[in-house]
Amino acid sequence: AIGLALVTSIFSESIIKYTYGSNYSDSIEVLVLLIWINVIIFFNSCWNQWHIIKGESNYVLYFHFLTASSNIVFNFILIPELGVIGAAYAIILSLVLSLIVFSFVDKSTFPLLVRAMTFGRVTV
């Protein structure tokens, strides 16, 4: 996910201009934000599978409920001020909020979050 995000970030201007033309150059920033969201989503997928394997699918349900609910709230706040960029920020904030909340609720996955955020350099 990080490799994909780096490549897309570096070549985002070329990707948008080649794919959609220079009329859509305003969407370059949105592309970069959305591609970095994938890093969080990849971690989230591992987190979901961890809990499903452990038979704790209720954590997955609550996680996604919190993410969706907070995303709606953040969208109402950020879209009127920032437009489409606000929607991208709302997604990031929702996912990070949910990961932080559930990392403290479920102590067994907190070390996984710390290792993922530090690229395996720090263990808890």
HEC sequence for the chain: CHHHHHHHHHCHHHHHHHHHCHHHHHHHHHHHHHHHHHHHHHHHHHHHHHHHHCCCHHHHHHHHHHHHHHHHHHHHHHHHHHCHHHHHHHHHHHHHHHHHHHHHHCCCCHHHHHHHHCCCCCCC
Nearest 10 degrees: CA dihedral of 47, 52, 58, 59?
Answer: -10
What share of the chain in percent tops pLDDT 90?
Answer: 45
Between residues 60 and 107, the one the model is more confident about: 60
Please determine, for residue 24, whether its predicted confidence score (pLDDT) is greater than 80: yes
Please determine, for residue 37, whether its predicted confidence score (pLDDT) is greater than 80: yes
Please determine, for residue 71, whether its predicted confidence score (pLDDT) is greater than 90: yes
Of the listed ranges 58-62, 63-67, 86-90, 112-116, the one predicted with least confidence:
112-116
Average pLDDT, the chain: 87
Please determine, for residue 53, whether its predicted confidence score (pLDDT) is greater than 80: yes
Please determine, for residue 13, whether its predicted confidence score (pLDDT) is greater than 70: yes
Mean pLDDT along residues 46-55:
85
Please determine, for residue 94, whether its predicted confidence score (pLDDT) is greater than 90: yes
Mean pLDDT along residues 81-102:
91
